[in-house]
Amino acid sequence: MIETSYTVTGMTCEHCVKSVTEEISEVSGVSDVAVDLSTGAVTVTSAEPVSHADVRAAVEEAGYELAER
């Protein structure tokens, strides 16, 4: 399993967490998503590498932004 960490900005509540989790979960290959509301940290677990662009698009679809690394 591969774990990739991201930081999402703009989340303020559990609804935000749910939206981000649901959108990223739909990205092909993603098996788990863990979101820490207090820090904005998002850990994506997958069997194969997942496209950074796909994760960014999912976060934007949820209405938030992926912080640059």
Number of domains into which the chain is organized: 1
Grade residue 68 by pLDDT with cuts at 50, 70 and 90: confident
pTM of the model: 0.91
Q: What would the pLDDT profile of 7-65 be if each residue is shown by its tens digit?
A: 999 999 999 999 999 999 999 999 999 999 999 999 999 999 999 999 999 999 999 99
| Residue 33 burial class via C-beta count within 10 angstroms: exposed 0-12, middle 13-18, buried 19 and up | buried
Range of the structural domain that residue 41 is part of: 2-66
CATH of the domain at 23: 3.30.70.100
